[in-house]
Structure 1
Amino acid sequence: MIKNNSFIPDNCEAVIVAPVLRDLLKSLEYELANRYKEALHGGFELNWSASTNDTCSHCERSGGWCGLNMTSSRTLVSACFCSDGRIASHNCSSAAGKGKKSTMKHGIIIGIAASAGFFVLLCVGFIYYRHKKKQGNSPSSKSLVQNLSSMSSSKDPEKGSSAHFQTHLFSYEELEQATNHFDESEELGDGGFGTVYKGKLRDGRIVAVKRLYENNYRRVEQFRNEIDILSRLRHPNLVNLYGCTSRSERELLLVYEFVQNGTVADHLHGSRASEGILTWPVRLNIAVETADALAYLHAVNPPIIHRDVKTSNILLDSCFNVKVADFGLSRLFPTNVTHISTAPQGTPGYLDPEYHQCYQLTDKSDVYSFGVVLVELISSKPAVDITRHRKDINLANMAVDRIQNGELDQLVDEGLGYQSNEAIRKMITMVAEVAFRCLQKDGEMRPPVKEVLDTLKAIQSEGYKVAKEGKDGADNGDDAGLLKNIAPMSPDSVMNRWVSRYTTPNTSE
């Protein structure tokens, strides 16, 4: 037992002796003043036995409660605490004790019931408050927005971004009014990490407003990433970011230009496929403009890897010009490295198999995804379709197989004139060969996107020339003229590296 009582404060009215665990006893000897509470929290065993005399039994029979009372000399003596508040040395009077005890018990029961009722009401009120607050703040809570302050200020449009262009800040109320309180009838669809609504700003501009639909840090990070990427870019084939809400607002919202003609996926195999608007010249132009946007991304300093190139992220305006969108997964690519080691992210069917296997992201990952887009433009088939034969569920695998086996006709959309128009047939064949190169599993075998762009432009240019000659009444019986200025390419030749007359050698690999 510890005999040193120097730690006991002078103003204590009583000292209670309690046993502690043996393994804490030694440390208490050295740090008694600081650790006695910790020792008691560690727990202890207490053996208690009723008194052998009749003092307690007499007290309890009289309606009292047996215990200890401190005298004026600060000593503890046995006492009988009566229900009427009196303290007796042995017992309380039987009649008064029992009556008072019963009253006291009822009082205690009523007090406990009242306390429990108040606690239940308090809990219900708290739950209701949280529910209303959640409804008011919607999917992205203010606390999540404030967590963004932990990110670098260089990514904060309010503090002067490192981007070349500043981002306009909208108020939540303005965007809520613009979208008619985010009316479901104004929904345009899914935007990667949020629902997109059509809206009209006070200045009359028609916009698309993206609203976070998941309340988690990863989605917030994608939101900030899209702001940081798009605020530094300007290209006619990239969607324009008009601004966003401040991090002090109740919701995270992005505001883009409104692109009214839907996505390429909608027109190829979605809700608008039956309209048959995308003729071959339109599709080839979509391929060229998408490649142009990707070439721009890969050429800026530092380069940007989109990481989610797919037909549902390629928007079309009223003239069917391309607007590449959704930069939530995009990454800045350091110029002094060959790859970024990161967990694979993207969309099944478009994801670079080498990136998926080796966790190494490169600019060739975008090239692979673009190869899938080219095949979709040729075939009008979705990138993944579980209703197809097992080996053809993945469109990229299906395309490689058909091209290698000389069965391109089984892949191409019959409505494009592949069978009836020789010029179109040869253009589609050459685009298919470009796609074949993009879909090589070995990233080093894929061409850089700039080379892909130049080749597609050459194919498009020769196609326009043949079409013009036909309109001018020139002899167009031999459409082989389409190929006369383009290096011949075959499904066999694309297995090896080649350099088109219209491209520059790939020196980046």
Structure 2
Amino acid sequence: MGYCCVCKEGFRGNPYLSHPDLGCKDINECDDGKHRCSRRCHNVEGNYTCSCPPGYRGDGYIDGSGCKFPFMEISLGISVAFLFVFTFVSTLCWGHKQRSLKQLRKKYFEQNGGNYMLQQMYQQQGHTDRAKIFSEDELRTATNNFDENRILGRGGQGTVYEGILPDNTHVAIKKSRIGGDPRQIKDFINEVAVLSQINHRNVVKLFGCCLETEVPLLVYEYVDNGTLLEHIDPLKNEHPLSWEIRLRIAVETAEAISYLHSAAAIPIIHRDIKSANILLDHNHRAKVSDFGASRLVPLDETQVTTVVQGTLGYLDPEYLLTGQLNEKSDVYSFGVVLVELVTGNKAVDFNKPEQRNLAMHFASSLKEDNLWEILDKRVLHQKNEEQLKEVAFLARKCIRVNGEERPTMKEVAMELEGLISMKKHPWGKREDMMSEECEYLLGHVADGYGNASASTSTVYDSIQREVAFEIEDGR
């Protein structure tokens, strides 16, 4: 019927006593283990609280979120910081690399005569086909960073890659192996300037060059049907070119070389005429290529002294001995190409000891009157025997050891053109028609009754003797 005393929650003792030591006293839950803290416990009057150590996250209670170390947040923070530092350092390195690359390209550009090239281009502003200076990035993009699969061929002068410009123009990009000799820079730039203006159908067109690399890169038109050597060699091509196509290729090549010697602004000696440097398009039209070894010859000079350079089997023996380069050196090389066309053999063949050097073997065979034994049987037939014989005699003239005894390329081209004209208009084989044509061309000086005068007959007889002499001489 009275009252009952109890201690408050969190206290323990005698609730009927008011003395602090004997009455209700606070319970330390942290000491007796009667708490729900996962890490740290803090006793308070009548209760307790939980907390987490520094660096941990949570409320500290076992039945709550507890205490967890923030691995994800720290990892993310470290990653973001590392990424920021990496980006910053990479940007600095990229900027330094770009500045170094820009300086290196500028150095190469000046070393390769870029300033002189710009001066030449400025002087050629009236020419629409002047050479273009490509950037290295443009050509790397065109060749897929000079991919091995884009290689068209390798030679003594360098590697040629197939490229596609932004306007979808197919080009052949030549990466030269020859180092930049400061003494040859001016000659190289002159050559580029001259070749860029050449618009001959049988000379591979030079679009431009890149001067930002250690050695200049040349950009030519792309010719898609391989080289003449590939079409002549029976091991590489099962279907040989017909004699008509071979003769036309010879004429086109001779015209191109004659143009370089005689009609170019500054005469050019190719110095590496060979069947591997004569490209064929899809119509088997000839294109003379690879001017890496060519030399410009000033109009007031007939020959230049150079380090001997060329290809074994095509190299002019006189040039090899003296080092004196002139137009007749190209004539000799072209003569070897003619020999390849009529025999179907390679200029040098180590598998055939008896004709290891084709030019020497050919000259020896003609001297022994064994012409028909060495001619290519795949194209030899009764209708073209005379043409083959004429071309063989012309080739013999071209490969004479003494350069002064060789004809000029202009004379060679005219003789070859004459052979094609003779086939189209075989008036030379008909004596009666020749007589009528000659009389007509000479004006047919006659009296009032239609009788030819004595002077006309005399001139006509002399022409007949001259024609007969030229045919017997192989011309």
Please give the TM-score of this superposition, normalised by the length of structure 1.
0.60
What secondary structure, in the 3-state scheme, does the structure 2 residue paired with 1:256 have?
A: strand
Quick one: structure 1 residues 155 and 454, their matched pair in 2 at CA, closer, same or farther if it must change by over 3 Å?
Answer: farther
Unaligned runs of 5+ in 1: 1-128, 470-482, 495-499, 501-509
**Which residue of the other structure, out of 454, 458, 481, is the alignment partner of 2:414?**
454
Pair 1:178 & 2:142 matched = yes
Which residue number in structure 2 is paired with residue 379 of structure 1? Answer: 343
Q: Is 1:223–1:328's contact at 8 Å kept on the other side of the alignment?
A: no
Quick one: structure 1 residues 360 and 214, their matched pair in 2 at CA, closer, same or farther if it must change by over 3 Å?
Answer: closer
What are the within-5 Å matches in structure 2 for residues 84-99 of structure 1? none
Q: Is 2:194–2:266's contact at 8 Å kept on the other side of the alignment?
A: no
Pair 1:405 & 2:405 matched = no
Which residue number in structure 2 is paired with residue 440 of structure 1? Answer: 400
**Which residue of the other structure, out of 195, 200, 203, is the alignment partner of 1:235?**
200
Q: Is 2:130–2:193's contact at 8 Å kept on the other side of the alignment?
A: no
The C-alpha deviation readout for 1:213-238, integer Å capped at 9, x for no partner, is 45554898586465244123221110
Pair 1:348 & 2:308 matched = no
C-alpha deviation, 1:325, in angstroms: 0.7
C-alpha deviation, 1:410, in angstroms: 2.3
C-alpha deviation, 1:256, in angstroms: 1.2
**Which residue of the other structure, out of 239, 243, 247, is the alignment partner of 1:284?**
247
Pair 1:306 & 2:270 matched = yes
> Structure 2: which amino acid aligns with 1:290?
T
Unaligned runs of 5+ in 2: 1-92, 430-463
Which residue number in structure 2 is paired with residue 39 of structure 1? Answer: none
The C-alpha deviation readout for 1:271-310, integer Å capped at 9, x for no partner, is 642232x110000000000010011111124322111111
The C-alpha deviation readout for 1:444-471, integer Å capped at 9, x for no partner, is 111111111111111112223469x9xx
Quick one: structure 1 residues 356 and 171, their matched pair in 2 at CA, closer, same or farther if it must change by over 3 Å?
Answer: same
C-alpha deviation, 1:154, in angstroms: 6.1
What secondary structure, in the 3-state scheme, does the structure 2 residue paired with 1:209 have?
A: strand
Partners of 2:112 and 2:413 lie apart in 1 by 38
Please give the TM-score of this superposition, normalised by the length of structure 2.
0.64
C-alpha RMSD of matched pairs (Å)? 3.5
Q: Is 2:136–2:212's contact at 8 Å kept on the other side of the alignment?
A: no
C-alpha deviation, 1:252, in angstroms: 3.1
Q: Is 2:180–2:214's contact at 8 Å kept on the other side of the alignment?
A: no
Partners of 1:192 and 1:161 lie apart in 2 by 32
Identity of aligned pairs, percent?
40
Partners of 2:182 and 2:230 lie apart in 1 by 28
Quick one: structure 1 residues 488 and 424, their matched pair in 2 at CA, closer, same or farther if it must change by over 3 Å?
Answer: farther
Partners of 2:190 and 2:276 lie apart in 1 by 19
> Structure 1: which amino acid aligns with 2:221?
E
**Number of equivalences:** 339
Which residue number in structure 1 is paired with residue 457 of structure 2? Answer: none
> Structure 2: which amino acid aligns with 1:359?
G
Quick one: structure 1 residues 393 and 209, their matched pair in 2 at CA, closer, same or farther if it must change by over 3 Å?
Answer: same
C-alpha deviation, 1:153, in angstroms: 2.2
> Structure 1: which amino acid aligns with 2:279?
L
Pair 1:326 & 2:286 matched = no
Quick one: structure 1 residues 226 and 189, their matched pair in 2 at CA, closer, same or farther if it must change by over 3 Å?
Answer: farther
**Which residue of the other structure, out of 373, 394, 400, is the alignment partner of 2:357?**
394
Quick one: structure 1 residues 173 and 456, their matched pair in 2 at CA, closer, same or farther if it must change by over 3 Å?
Answer: same
Q: Is 2:111–2:182's contact at 8 Å kept on the other side of the alignment?
A: no
Pair 1:294 & 2:218 matched = no
Higher mean Cα deviation, 229-238 or 369-378? 229-238
Partners of 1:154 and 1:382 lie apart in 2 by 39
Higher CA-based Rg: 2
Which residue number in structure 2 is paired with residue 431 of structure 1? Answer: 391
Which residue number in structure 1 is paired with residue 232 of structure 2? Answer: 268
The C-alpha deviation readout for 1:452-499, integer Å capped at 9, x for no partner, is 1111111112223469x9xxxxxxxxxxxxx999645689x46xxxxx
C-alpha deviation, 1:158, in angstroms: 5.4
The C-alpha deviation readout for 1:78-129, integer Å capped at 9, x for no partner, is xxxxxxxxxxxxxxxxxxxxxxxxxxxxxxxxxxxxxxxxxxxxxxxxxxx9
Partners of 2:301 and 2:189 lie apart in 1 by 24
Partners of 2:323 and 2:177 lie apart in 1 by 28
Pair 1:463 & 2:410 matched = no
Pair 1:358 & 2:322 matched = yes
Quick one: structure 1 residues 299 and 397, their matched pair in 2 at CA, closer, same or farther if it must change by over 3 Å?
Answer: same
What secondary structure, in the 3-state scheme, does the structure 2 residue paired with 1:367 have?
A: helix
Partners of 1:412 and 1:395 lie apart in 2 by 12
